[in-house]
Structure 1
Amino acid sequence: MDEIKVFAPASVANVGCGYDTIGFAIDGLGDEIIMSKRSDSKLVIKEIIGADLPLEPEENVATISIRALLDHLGSDQGFDITIKKLFKPGSGLGSSASSAAGAVFAANELLGEPIDKKDLIHFALEGEAFASKSYHADNVAPSLIGGFNVIRAYEPELDIFQVNVPADLWVLIIFPDVVIKTSESKKLIPTSLSIKDARDQWSNVAGLIQAFNTHDFELLRKSVTDLVAEPVRKGLIPGYDQVKQLAYDHGSVGFNISGSGPSMFALFKNEKAMNAAKPEIKKLYEEMNLPVILHSSKINLRGCEVIS
């Protein structure tokens, strides 16, 4: 196989209480990457469609991630790469992670799959760290392997496990047309917590995991609560409190910021409740004269996949 086309899904990180620790993949948004082998060792980004991102291999998360994989394998294989972004960078949906994950997945496929899919996370993290100025796998892991992921530890080695996903759970992504850079948003996060806030945050993480495992939607609604990022980041997102209230008024079982924002996610236990909330949210942003994208999805359990 000399050429491949893959899809790498977007993702929701933090999921409220799980800062840099929890994330899940979604359907329909992500990166489409076409990659082909070269006869030399160069990594060439031929085109990026849908976003203004660097083509230089030392400045793009896709080629940085591929280089980490090739160095590990001791390979001098070169690739031509075309990236089609199906959602905006700076959306809070793991744009850099989708590019990094999709790139290493495609390269690994063309090289004959020498690395297990889950182990590719290590190489995608190199690109993600370049983009966000920190190592965090809560976008990269779900984009690569799909599902609902928990990063138990980063040191001394990366330790990730997956949590059961309720089959009837729906996700509504609300993306107002403003840009928030992850590297800038991270500067708002407090460097210390009170014992009380830390205790309550840990309790919410435990509740969130239990809620997913047992399909306890009332516990899920209570446990998505975040005491770390949401209080300092929500002010960057127009209409945040109003949208949150509208979602809960229509039966949402969990609402918070997706990653660093401005996208938000609302969890619903059925499609009917989710669809009832959409017109109200759209109307709110029309009154604010602000474009908004509403995207419905189930939790993507597949992660990166070959599409042609």
Structure 2
Amino acid sequence: MICIKVPATTANLGVGFDCLGMALDIYSYFYFKPSKSLQISGCPTEYQNENNLVYQAYIEAMTELGIKPSPIKLVIKSDIPLERGLGSSSACVVAGVLGAYALAGHPVNQEKALALCTKIEGHPDNVAPALIGGLVASYQGDQILYTSRFPLHSSYKFLVLIPDFRTSTEIARELLPEKIDFTDAVSNQSKLLFATQALTSGDGPLLQEVMTDKLHEPYRKQLIHEVNIVSDLTKQAGALTVLVSGSGPTLLAIAQEKIDIDSLNDQLKELKHQWKCYKVNSDLEGATQC
């Protein structure tokens, strides 16, 4: 049986809408084995069929490799919560593609694998860090997908704040305006340049200054209950900035000082919805065969 390990991801990081993402040390494990018929376990019943995203990505990759896909037994063991803005669907896509490579006995061509993952997922901001690891910027050119990995400064600490409700990526994207103000576009573009500098240099005050997005967060926050309260509590606890992870509802907090997570969780218990704060690290390996 072949095992593929894929990290969770947090996309956008505020001002990096659709082009910046980071892998986190929360993992999904996918076990592949040739079978006489399709068998899937470890996920909700509605996904235990041909519509399973891992299986669909496996089929796409096998076809790309020029190999007739055969049925598989797929076992999923995941700590990445579904529909919470932590890249659960991207993990499935990456796993399906890498599982196909492994079952076919082909060495992974990372450039081709990333291009295929992006084609299936629709955009690279989650699949790129899931595959490569670390903090990754991506740009989809006319013919080539470009990625660049930035070294995170060791002073930064990361927290995820995960609620008991889900949000739909499709609905979150539908809320985005068709047109944006020219000044907002210039502002975000400028902030993104300095945000990447701050993340690599360890300049916390600069990071705090530039992590105010106007392209997507104001609209997506409409779907996140108690977002302002949770954000304020986390900043009071010592976070430099609190961002929407992907399309939400999970929030990503970045800090440089130690945050008392137990105390913060006690405060979160007072809210109507159940929020839970966890310390996470950036995963630097990306997807691997385990």
SS, match of residue 171 in structure 1: strand
SS, match of residue 156 in structure 1: coil
Partner of residue 290, structure 1? 273
Matched, 1:106 2:99: yes
Partner of residue 245, structure 1? 232
Matches of 2:210 and 2:286, distance apart in 1: 25
Partner of residue 41, structure 2? 47
SS, match of residue 17 in structure 2: coil
Partner of residue 132, structure 1? none
Q: Which moved more, 1:172-181 or 1:95-104?
A: 95-104
Q: 1:26 to 1:153 in 2, by over 3 A?
A: same
Deviation at 1:149, TM superposition (A): 0.7
Matched, 1:76 2:74: no
Matches of 1:255 and 1:155, distance apart in 2: 34
TM-score by length of 2: 0.92
SS, match of residue 238 in structure 2: coil
Matches of 1:247 and 1:292, distance apart in 2: 12
Partner of residue 4, structure 1? 2
Partner of residue 131, structure 1? none
TM-score by length of 1: 0.87
Matches of 1:216 and 1:202, distance apart in 2: 19
Q: 1:45 to 1:210 in 2, by over 3 A?
A: farther
Partner of residue 149, structure 2? 162
Over 3 Å off, 4+ runs? none
Deviations 1:180-221 (A, max 9, x none): 010111001111111111111101111111112322122122
Answer whether contact 2:12 2:245 (CA < 8 A) is retained: yes
Residues 1-308 of structure 1: pairs in structure 2 closer than 5 A: 3-27=1-25, 29-38=26-35, 44-49=38-43, 51-57=44-50, 59-78=51-70, 79-128=72-121, 135-270=122-257, 273-274=258-259, 276-280=260-264, 282-307=265-290
Matches of 2:226 and 2:67, distance apart in 1: 49
Count of residue pairs brought into register by the alignment: 289
Q: Which moved more, 1:169-178 or 1:74-83?
A: 74-83
Answer whether contact 1:65 1:127 (CA < 8 A) is retained: yes
Deviations 1:150-175 (A, max 9, x none): 01234332111111111232210001
Runs of 5+ in structure 1 lacking a partner? 129-134
Q: 1:193 to 1:143 in 2, by over 3 A?
A: same
Q: 1:156 to 1:19 in 2, by over 3 A?
A: same
SS, match of residue 33 in structure 1: strand
Answer whether contact 1:170 1:299 (CA < 8 A) is retained: no
Answer whether contact 1:61 1:100 (CA < 8 A) is retained: yes
Deviation at 1:31, TM superposition (A): 1.6
Matches of 1:154 and 1:296, distance apart in 2: 35
Matches of 2:9 and 2:32, distance apart in 1: 22
Answer whether contact 1:62 1:127 (CA < 8 A) is retained: no
Matches of 1:30 and 1:116, distance apart in 2: 22
Deviations 1:225-275 (A, max 9, x none): 1101111111221221122222222332332100011100001224xx23x
Q: Percent identity?
A: 25
Matches of 1:153 and 1:198, distance apart in 2: 19
Q: 1:185 to 1:81 in 2, by over 3 A?
A: same
Answer whether contact 1:65 1:126 (CA < 8 A) is retained: no
Matches of 2:207 and 2:22, distance apart in 1: 15
Answer whether contact 1:125 1:137 (CA < 8 A) is retained: yes
SS, match of residue 138 in structure 1: helix
Which AA in structure 1 matches 2:289? V
